[in-house]
Every structure is written in C-alpha cells, then in structure tokens.
Amino acid sequence: MATLLFRLRNVPEDEADDVRDLLTRHSIAFYETSAGNWGVSLPAIWLHHDEDYPQARQLLDNYQRERSARMREQYLADKAAGRADTMLGMLTRDPFKVLSYLALIAIILYISISIFY
C-alpha cells in the first residue's frame, strides 16, 4: 500500500526537486500526485512500499534540518548585505500592492469592530 511521505502544497520547486533527487539517489520507489486541474487534490510524494518509509523519513528529516540551517544562513547573509526583503523595500518596489493590502486590512478591522458599536 502507498504511504504519504511529503506534501507538496506551497513547497518551493527547488525543495521538491531536492526531495525527488534524494529518494532517487537512495533507490526508494515513489510517485507523485498533483493538485489536479482545480487545485483541490493533494499534491504529494508517495512511497510505493511501506517498508521504505522509515529510511525515507530519516533521509527527509535530515535534509529538512540541513535546508533549514542553509536557508537561515542565507537570510542572515542577505540581511547583513541589505538584500533582505523589508516592508519599506516592498513599499518602494510595489506601492499599489502594499497599500491595497493595508486598505483591505483596515476594512476588515472596521467591519469586525463596528459590529460592537
């Protein structure tokens, strides 16, 4: 029976590629499901054989720890170099989008609070 190993919803493509490569390098049989035409199905990586799950889980956990440390170091390096994304940077790059989001937040807050008055 197939076993769910890794959900792919909101996962960056480079991370999904790394997971596929990791499983392929260790000769673990897997297949993928997509989100479907309307995006309502479960995009995921599944294992063909249940007995591969402990090894695959261990490999995936190690990979995610390494990736987390690598991404954290990259963020800190970007922040030190002034390349990290900030609110001011987003405002100067795309002011209409930022102001639209702020207006939407204000409208939602107004509606939420005005009920009590």
Q: What is the pLDDT of residues 61-76, one digit of tens each?
A: 999 999 999 999 999 9
Is residue 10 over pLDDT 90?
yes
Tens-place pLDDT, residues 76-86: 999 899 888 88
Q: Same domain for 89 and 104?
A: yes
| Burial of 57: CB neighbours in 10 Å, binned 0-12, 13-18, 19+ | middle
CA pair distance 55, 58, nearest whole angstrom:
5
Look at residue 49 in the predicted model and tell me its pLDDT: 96
**pTM of the full structure:** 0.75
The CA–CA distances, whole Å, from 3 to 13, 25, 27, 51, 116 equal 22, 19, 16, 9, 49
How many separate domains does the chain show? 2
Q: Same domain for 115 and 64?
A: no
Domain, as residue range, for 92: 85-117
